[in-house]
Chain A
Amino acid sequence: MSPHPALQVPEILSIIFGNFYQENFTEEQSLASLARSCKLFFEPAVSILWRRLDSLPSLFKVIPSFELDVAREVYVCPIHFTSRLDSHSI
């Protein structure tokens, strides 16, 4: 079943979803649910969900390779070191 034509207009969706974004509080759960509900809702919901960020690590978390090092309480990227001598010794 196709959605109502009004719900296919991104601008209208942005206005509706904007109600979940308050000056001091964003209803993140609701916006995340909207983003997952259908492809049409994804862009407008995500753009509002990510409009305000309180933590930079939250952004880096979207990269799967970055892992949480629990002991150091930091996100790290597994890096493979090669001795410069080794890399040039072929």
Chain B
Amino acid sequence: MFVLFILQVDLTLIQFKDFHDDVEPAHWLRLESYAAAIRELQVTSCEDPFGFDAFVLVLAARHFQGRPMLPSLVTLTLDHPDLIPTLPLLLSPTLRTISFCVDEDIFYGRMPSPLRNGFMKIISEQAPSIKKLVLPGPLSNRKSYNPILNLRNLHTLIISTSETLSGNVPLDIIASCGSLVELKMNFESASDAVSVTPPNLKLQLPCFQSLRSLGLTGASGLFINSILTMLTFIPIESVFIGLDCSDVQWRTITTNVAQWANTLQRFEFTVRSQLTVIMPQYSDIQPLLSCHQM
């Protein structure tokens, strides 16, 4: 299974030929002894100019046969598209943080389709104890999100999406993730020419049972307001909103945030327009005066 994930390119070669290699068992034991010490793997595109042939991964997959190659890994940060097919090899039950910082198109473009469709399933099976997950974009379909409910320790979820694709992020499924404390959604702003209907989802209780921190960046004010309204009944303690536009409905947003007056302890609201920070009027922030916990 691993081999199928890893190897797309040279598959025809494997079908017609048998192969054997010169790697001695002692060499694999040597690799395993070093790999067992690795707690943090942070691979960025500029760190190492050299990659490795797909056969190296095939051999590694064949050697480990489903065992984690890095059995002590706690933090995995992937910022190198070439390494995406290695994901099944790198996942380990000890993982607590998985971050994918690759551009969404590259990320899913390089991901073999069996891995893409079962992305969350693989994570939930091979790294069930993760606390923080950073996704570069929405998954391929709604069903792909269901395994997130198996991540019983998931504390922080950060998803990059866009207003047009936001419908692909099923908040109602994510809302059922009982352990989720922090949710951040980074939107890629839709162009002015594109009119996007804000989400109009009715969340049903119980949902977002543990959610206390909400971050929304990049979306339009209308979009942000619709999400804030959706979460009225959640006792949010921390809100971070970042907008990149000139026409801001300050008062509407602060009024919506003030719905959490009894619980809100921290509120950050940054508005920029072409790198210029826009400041609100006093009247715009008046609704926040009711937030006595801040």
Interface positions of A (Cβ within 8 A of B): 46-60, 62-66, 68-69, 72-84, 87
Chain B min CB distance to A59 (Å)? 6
Q: A55-B47, A63-B28, A80-B21 are in contact. Are A74 and B38 (CB under 8 A)?
A: no
In Å, the complex CA distance between A77 and B24 comes to 12
Tell me whether A75 and B53 are in contact (CB under 8 A).
Answer: yes
Q: A63-B23, A80-B20, A80-B21 are in contact. Are A75 and B56 (CB under 8 A)?
A: yes
Is the C-beta of B31 less than 8 angstroms from some C-beta in chain A?
yes
Dominant SS among interface residues on chain B: mixed
Is the C-beta of B48 less than 8 angstroms from some C-beta in chain A?
yes
- The 29 sampled A-B contact pairs (Cβ below 8 Å) are A46-B37, A48-B37, A50-B38, A51-B39, A52-B38, A55-B47, A56-B48, A56-B52, A57-B48, A57-B51, A60-B31, A60-B60, A62-B34, A63-B23, A63-B28, A63-B31, A65-B27, A69-B53, A74-B52, A74-B53, A75-B50, A78-B21, A79-B21, A79-B55, A80-B20, A80-B22, A82-B19, A84-B17, A87-B18
Chain A min CB distance to B68 (Å)? 13
In Å, the complex CA distance between A69 and B53 comes to 9
Interface string of B40-68 (1 = CB under 8 A from A): 11111001111111011001100000000
Is the C-beta of B30 less than 8 angstroms from some C-beta in chain A?
yes
Q: A46-B37, A50-B37 are in contact. Are A77 and B47 (CB under 8 A)?
A: no
Beta-carbon nearest neighbor of B75 in chain A: A52
Q: A47: which B residues are within 8 A, CB to CB?
A: 37
Q: A60-B56, A80-B21 are in contact. Are A54 and B30 (CB under 8 A)?
A: no
In Å, the complex CA distance between A49 and B44 comes to 19
Chain B min CB distance to A20 (Å)? 14
Tell me whether B31 and A59 are in contact (CB under 8 A).
Answer: yes
In Å, the complex CA distance between A59 and B53 comes to 14
Q: A50: which B residues are within 8 A, CB to CB?
A: 34-35, 37-38
Chain B min CB distance to A75 (Å)? 4
Beta-carbon nearest neighbor of A84 in chain B: B18
Q: B60: which A residues are within 8 A, CB to CB?
A: 60
Tell me whether A54 and B47 are in contact (CB under 8 A).
Answer: yes
Q: B55: which A residues are within 8 A, CB to CB?
A: 76-77, 79
Tell me whether A57 and B38 are in contact (CB under 8 A).
Answer: no
In Å, the complex CA distance between A66 and B63 comes to 15
Q: Which residues from 212 to 263 on chain B have a C-beta closer than 8 Å to any C-beta of chain A?
A: none
In Å, the complex CA distance between A75 and B23 comes to 14
In Å, the complex CA distance between A11 and B278 comes to 54
